[in-house]
Amino acid sequence: MKTSNSQNDKILFGFLKFVSANKEWLMTLASGFLLGRITNEFSPPNSNLWDVLQGTFSVANRPTNFLSWLSVILLAGVPLSYRFLKKLHKQKQYAKLFATILQRHKSRAITPFNGLSWDDDLSLQTCPELHRGWVASEIKVQHDTTRFSMPEKYKQAYKEYFNKFHEEKRFFNDGIKFMLTRNPASFLDSPTLSLNTRETLYSQIQFYKDNIAILTPERNELIRKAVDGYVEFPHSLCMHIVVVTSDDKVVTTKRSAKVSYYPNTWSCTAEEQLAPQDFEKGGGSLISKWAGRLLSEEFGLNAEDYNDGNVRILSAFLESDILNISLCAHVVLDIPASELNQRLLILPRPDYEFSEWAFLTHDEVLNELFRPTKAYHPSSGYRMLMALIRKYGEPTVVEKILNQTK
């Protein structure tokens, strides 16, 4: 990669990020100023349209009218430049370079499939503007009330499995879970993320994880179908969230020895399954309620500790080793690491699914990604990679990864 090209890409990304973050208030400021100027010019009696236009835009006797022209340029130029920059940036996406760099970290099960991946985790759909992510209002959920039905060829095996592990796996509490039925879709020109869900049962998910996910041909066929569009295996749609404090520290947690999945491993940062209460009416969007419940139950946080607009969904991804699909989420809190640390030490929490925690800089996250010093939850590497892209953008992340792998 040539230095000049890399620098140009960084400048392009920086300009796109600036326009993306500021376009709304720039448009509001420009339109408000222009409307005010036109209103003032209509104030004198007997003003006609020509007088108004002259008074607003003529710079012969009013040099300040350059601001009127600047407002017009902003109103026309900001949306046009934003669309142009998005298309130009899309042409410079680093999918091929990422694939080359990360190929050795891609498990054999997902090698045949394209997409941003790490170990066993494969992106099914990433946000077209990955550095930005989807806000809650850009995600549409369509729920099918019919429940997943076990395929005929597995019914007898499932019945025997259910009876055999009824006590050990606590199938007497065979709770309702929620799965996706389709590979989520989103496009640059139509960025809304569509999630199609339906109900399944905990025991059905466990049966597939323990019996089907270990059979390579069957698992690979189910993965292929999911990548192509249709999800035919039961799973528990989960939110895997990266939490960042206001002073830019990434929170990592050590999972309790009591949790069902991956006890005593470190996570970047936490996980929470979609639950029936997230579908209840009122209290905001499903994504907002889901993320809010996670932050409340796991960290004791409330709505005053973070801005709902800072909760972003970066991707939907497949955990191929256990045949599960999750959303990769990211949130920046309004409190620093020191305050969060004190709260975790002192205040009670609804859940205690982690026993230890640590705060990392993004450079330390990059080091842990390539040279881990702890045993991590399997999707933590994928989440670290996505968090780095969210923080720096693709050009800088590629450069940092290249420096790490020299």
Q: Higher confidence at residue 57 or residue 87?
A: 57
Q: In the chain, what percentage of residues exceed pLDDT 70?
A: 87
pLDDT of residue 331: 98
Task: Give the tens place of pLDDT for each residue, 355-373.
Answer: 899 999 999 999 999 999 9
Domain ranges in the chain? 3-91, 95-145+236-404
DSSP E strands in 119-181: the ranges are: 121-126, 139-147, 176-180
- Which of 6-15, 113-122, 155-164 has the weakest average pLDDT? 6-15
Instruction: Assign 2 a pLDDT band (cuts: 50, 70, 90).
Output: very low
Task: Give the tens place of pLDDT for each residue, 302-339.
Answer: 999 999 999 999 999 999 999 999 999 999 999 999 99
User: And the tokens for 280?
Assistant: 């209840």
User: And the tokens for 195?
Assistant: 């999630």
Question: What pTM does this model have?
Answer: 0.77
Helix axes 362-370, 394-404, angle to 10 degrees: 50
In whole angstroms, what is the distance from residue 92 CA to residue 271 CA? Answer: 32
Task: Give the tens place of pLDDT for each residue, 101-114.
Answer: 777 788 888 988 88
Q: Is 106 helix (H, G, I), strand (E, B) or coil?
A: strand
User: And the tokens for 253?
Assistant: 């947690």
DSSP E strands in 52-134: the ranges are: 117-118, 121-126
Judge whether residue 44 has pLDDT over 70.
Answer: no
Task: Give the tens place of pLDDT for each residue, 165-176.
Answer: 999 999 999 999
The CATH H-level (homologous superfamily) assignment of domain 95-145+236-404 is: Nucleoside Triphosphate Pyrophosphohydrolase (3.90.79.10)
- What is the rounded (10 degree) CA torsion for 242, 245, 248, 253? -50
pLDDT of residue 188: 66
When mean pLDDT is compared over 14-23, 32-41, 72-81, 236-245, the highest value belongs to 236-245
Judge whether residue 16 has pLDDT over 70.
Answer: no
